[in-house]
Amino acid sequence: MSPQAQQNERVELERHGVRATRQRIAVLRALAAEPNDATAQEIYAWLAQRGEAIGLATVYRTLALLNSNGVVDALAHRPGELCYRLCGEGHHHHLVCGECHRVVELDDCDLDEWLKRLAVEHKFAISAHTVEVTGICADCR
Amino acid sequence: MSPQAQQNERVELERHGVRATRQRIAVLRALAAEPNDATAQEIYAWLAQRGEAIGLATVYRTLALLNSNGVVDALAHRPGELCYRLCGEGHHHHLVCGECHRVVELDDCDLDEWLKRLAVEHKFAISAHTVEVTGICADCR
DNA sequence: ATAATTGCAAAGCGTTTGCACCCTG
DNA sequence: CAGGGTGCAAACGCTTTGCAATTAT
């Protein structure tokens, strides 16, 4: 990878007040290369295969850090493991293909009105909501 | 527990083509006693505390079985563990209090129109969707 | 310089499984 | 009585952690 390309990841990390290390830049690159979501183990394997010297624990620590800084999304489609993916700005949900695991990022969320109604009806202060839509994409049919 | 009370659980199990054993009846009773959701471990502890002789593995096996037979819902609010709860009939979503983990079952789902639009727009055959709304309930505020 | 980050290996966690025994139907 | 169900303990897979060595600012 060119020093030029690394520059993007470095800036992204520093923008979030995170120290730019070789390993963190590598994880960010792996995420950028993956159009869908990936588990920590998959990212580790991807990097190892390309000769990146990085420990599995570091991958986990980095993903947790990036997630808490809002750089990556953590999806829990299956119990017992988390999937991560670079997230766009703002609030959004995902449409996942059950066959090939392709993920489409949805940018519109029509739920606000419904949520407001729920808040009143059940006397909840609603802080968050997740939506995950599953189906089969055109290519898998 | 009275033999009378056991009868309800027995019928419920047999209705789903599941053999009624002492342990399965006990798990069903534990679920019925829990207004919110519970993990396998919590159900095991609840039963053990009441002197029910049951193995942890059996609790896991029973919950998996009941889930695949549509008797219980499995929610994954937290990574690495599943929560189970008796589910009402039909399609519904949950409103969960992040503080006390109280769960409110929502019976209206206004998403159908939105989903239809997504299906067309992204050429997906949509098979399922999950929604989970998190907030703080009135009692915890 | 020095405080943060890393790697390794060990521990932790919830969950699953193999197998001999037991019970339901 | 036959086949499914159970208990135990060991195995599992993913994730986290302790600690000494390394690295970024």
Q: Give the pLDDT confidence of A56-87 residue by residue, as tens digits.
A: 999 999 999 999 998 888 877 767 788 888 87
Q: How confident is the model at residue B51 (pLDDT cuts 50, 70, 90)?
A: very high
For residue A20, say whether its CB is under 7 Å from any atom of strand D.
Answer: yes
Q: Which pLDDT belongs to residue B5?
A: 60
Q: Which comes out higher in pLDDT, residue B52 or B4?
A: B52
Burial class from Cβ neighbours inside 10 Å (0-12, 13-18, 19+) for residue B136 reads middle
Predicted confidence band at A92 (pLDDT cuts at 50, 70, 90)?
confident
Q: b or e along B6-29 (b: 16 or more beta carbons within 10 Å of the residue's beta carbon)?
A: beebbebbeeeebebeebbbbbbb
- What percent of chain B shows pLDDT beyond 90? 37
Residues of chain B numbered 91-110 and touching chain A (CB < 8 Å): 95, 97-98, 104, 106, 110
CA of A73 to C1' of C23 (A): 49
CA distances from A70 to A116, B3, B36 (A): 25, 54, 30
| Res A88 pLDDT > 70 | no
Residue B108 CA neighbour count, 13 Å, CB half:
7
* pLDDT reported for residue B2: 52
Distance from C-alpha of A128 to C-alpha of B29, rounded to nearest angstrom: 32
Q: Which two tokens stand for residue B109?
A: 């789902």
Number of helices followed by number of strands (H, E) in chain B: 5, 6
Q: pLDDT category, B13, cuts 50, 70, 90?
A: very high
- For D7, which residue's CA is nearest its C1'? B55
